[in-house]
Chains A and B, each alone.
Chain A
């Protein structure tokens, strides 16, 4: 089944303790992206990647890191989490269109992160 898989689904952690949220897709998609969803703010893009070893900042990259060493994986790293990073996180992937750009992101099921 074609899908984007995120782990873990739920995570409670303490301020300052480094964590990684994994994301993997099995559709051979070039594009991958991370979003956070907060009430009243919709989804905001954290980082995105157009291909292996190519990453770009989205609208809210502060406090986050990503890497794209393999096509299928795009982990999100919080080096020193803070309470304002408590949110619902979504990973997404997309194939490219012939003229460039995305064909439409397929989203994972989400990771609910609480930082206390």
Chain B
């Protein structure tokens, strides 16, 4: 079965530290990749997405992600986190062009001021 794994369940960083959140998926065909953020008590918001082309994609709020096809990975990065980045982050994969979007378990990021 297709699956999405986020290996870091809970990450604690100090402000200005660099961030990298891992995401791996198990689907072998064409995939479309997404990262979402959920601030406390709110709904999910799209951070960035990858469909094709340049494997390094930039999103909102200074986030970026790199698609490495050979590693089935789509890791999220940010050079310098802020306290306001405290949230839960979800990686999601659409297998083929189906509309069937599978989410990882999520990573809770806590940024200490």
Q: A64 within 8 Å of B by Cβ?
A: no
With A101-B96, A107-B43: A42-B103 Cβ-Cβ less than 8 Å? yes
Main secondary structure of the interface of A (DSSP, over half): strand
Among A42, A97, A100, A104, which residue has its beta carbon within 8 angstroms of that of B90?
A: A42
Interface residues of B (CB under 8 A from A): 6, 32, 34, 42-46, 49, 51, 90, 92, 94, 96-106
Chain A residues within 8 Å of B100, by CB: 45, 48, 56, 58
With a cutoff of 8 Å between Cβ atoms, the chain A residues found around residue B42 in the complex are 109
Tell me whether B105 and A94 are in contact (CB under 8 A).
no
Contact yes or no, A102 B101, CB < 8 A: yes
Q: What are 5 contact pairs spanning A and B, CB under 8 A?
A: A42-B90, A42-B103, A104-B34, A106-B46, A107-B44
List the B side residues contacting A31 at CB < 8 Å: 99
Give A51's nearest chain B residue, CB to CB.
B99
Contact A94 B43, beta carbon cutoff 8 Å: no
B92 surroundings in chain A (CB, below 8 A) = 43
CA–CA, A48 and B105, complex, Å:
20
Query: Chain B's interface: helix, strand, loop or mixed, by majority?
Result: loop
Which of chain B's residues have a CB closer than 8 A to the CB of A35?
103
A50 to B34, CA, bound (A): 19
**Interface contact B32-A101, CB-CB below 8 Å:** yes
Which of B6, B43, B51, B106 makes the CB contact (< 8 A) with A110?
B43
Contact check, A97 vs B97: say whether CB atoms are below 8 A apart.
yes
How near does chain A come to B15, taking the closest CB pair, in angstroms? 27
Query: Which of B90, B96, B103, B105 is the one whose CB lies under 8 Å from A40?
Result: B105
Additional 15 contacts, C-beta under 8 A, given A31-B99, A97-B97: A40-B105, A42-B90, A42-B103, A44-B103, A49-B99, A56-B99, A99-B97, A100-B98, A101-B99, A102-B32, A103-B49, A104-B49, A105-B44, A107-B43, A107-B44
